[in-house]
Amino acid sequence: MSMVIDAPRIVTTKPLLVVRGVSKTYGKVVALHDVAVTAYPGEVLGIVGESGSGKSTLLRMMNLEETPEFGSYTLDLPDLRGNLFNLDRFARRMLCATRIGIVYQNPHLGLLMTHSSSGNVAERLLIAGERSFATLRAKATDALDASEFPLDRLDAPPIELSGGMQQRVQLAKAIALEPALLLLDEPTTGLDVSVQALVLDTLKRLQQGRQITMVVVSHDLGVIRTLADRVMVMRSGRVVEEGLVDQIFQDPQHAYTQQLVHAKL
């Protein structure tokens, strides 16, 4: 009797997200140089690096907010072919609204601060064409519930909410349309440690429940260690090291990564 071993999933699964050869300069400053990113379905990819290493620029590009000078970006989704950087404004907007969710470090970037929280979530659904008030209300409530937002504050404007709650509204907005890709830009920076832990908990549960592919950008190694499966280390616009989280954190190879891991208090 012979035993058949399936090939590991990483060999058989096609990556969801492929970014290749992305370069971007702002004047003389090189923000990104020949960066490649690959993320597989259901995986959490962490990107770490110091301030100014280009990690946020990379994330904004994955959300199609910026276009690089060189490089390509593909998402393995039905009816989506070719380099996404070449999409027109209209197609970009639809793609960003329906297939990609983003949580910014600064909630002011992602939320309408004086509209109601449920309205902020409903906006996504409205862009996608939902026109029934009852459905909007129900779906917005569901999404806020899934991101563990207290439902008695459903219609409070984000400006009246605490930082942790604002992040939850952003998260609910991002997952309202069940996106294929969730981008998190320093989702817990600026929150105190206990709230940080609660938000990370929510993210972890969401990821396990829904199998969303996530890309988490953070300078906090703790956040990456808690959430990510794989990690990319960036410095001055380049990827210096890439690998499984345990591998990178236990046995860093690159001098900068060693420094980064040891610098952790």
Partner 1 sequence: MSLKSLTKPWQSMSYGFLDPSAKRELRRKMLKSVAVPGCQMPYASREVPMARGWGTGALQVSLTLLNPQMCVKVIDQGADDSVNAASIRRFLARVSGAPTTLDTLEAHLIQSRHRIPEEFLREDQILVLQVPNPEPLRSVQPNMSIARQMHADADYGRMWLQLYEQIVRSGRIMQGASYPSMVNGRHVMTPSPIPRWDVPKLNMSKHLTILSAGREKRIFAVPPYTRVEPLVFDDVPYQVEDHGALTCKRSGAKGFFMNEIPQDDGTSAFEVSDSEYGVKSIRQRDGEAVNLGGTWYKHGEMPK
| 103, 167 Cβ separation under 8 angstroms | yes
65 scored as a contact of partner 1 (CB under 8 A): no
- Tokens standing for residue 241: 């090291």
User: Tokens standing for 60?
Assistant: 């904004």
User: Which residues from 195-214 bind partner 1, rule CB under 8 A?
Assistant: none
Q: Give every CB contact of residue 180 below 8 A, 6+ residues apart in sequence.
A: 16, 75, 77, 99, 100, 212, 213
Q: How far apart are CA 158 and CA 117, in angstroms?
A: 6
Q: What is the DSSP string of 124-185?
A: HHHHTT---HHHHHHHHHHHHHHTT--GGGTTS-GGGS-HHHHHHHHHHHHHTT--SEEEEE
- Which is nearer to partner 1, 134 or 193 (by Cβ)? 134
With beta carbons less than 8 A apart as the criterion, state whether 183 and 215 touch. Answer: yes
Shortest separation between residue 129's beta carbon and partner 1, angstroms: 8
Residue 6 or 88 with smaller CB distance to partner 1 = 88
Cβ proximity to partner 1, 123 vs 185, nearer residue: 123
Residue 117 C-beta: closest distance to partner 1, Å = 10
SS3 188: coil
* Count of chain residues binding partner 1 (CB under 8 A): 19
Fill in the DSSP letter of residue 245.
H
Beta carbons of 141 and 69 less than 8 angstroms apart: no
Residue (59 or 125) nearer to partner 1, CB: 125
CB 116 to partner 1: min, Å: 5
136 vs 169, which CB is nearer to partner 1?
Answer: 136
75 binds partner 1 (CB under 8 A): no
What strands, in cross-sheet order, belong to the sheet with 230-235? 100-103, 181-185, 213-218, 44-49, 230-235, 238-244
Q: How far is the CB of 90 from partner 1 (least distance, A)?
A: 5
Nearer to partner 1, 81 or 131 (CB): 131
Question: Which CB sits closer to partner 1, 49 or 158?
Answer: 158
Report the alpha-carbon distance of residue 181 to residue 198 in Å, rounded: 22
The reply to whether 1 sits near partner 1 by the rule CB under 8 A is: no
Min dist CB 157 to partner 1, Å, is: 9
d(CA 26, CA 183): 23
Residues 111-150 binding partner 1 (CB under 8 A) are 112, 115-116, 118-119, 122-123, 126-127, 129, 131-134, 136
| Candidate residues 28, 81, 89, 262; the one interacting with partner 1 per rule CB under 8 A | 89
Q: Within positions 91 to 110, which residues make up the interface with partner 1, using CB under 8 A?
A: 93
Q: Binding residues for partner 1, per CB under 8 A?
A: 89-90, 93, 112, 115-116, 118-119, 122-123, 126-127, 129, 131-134, 136, 155
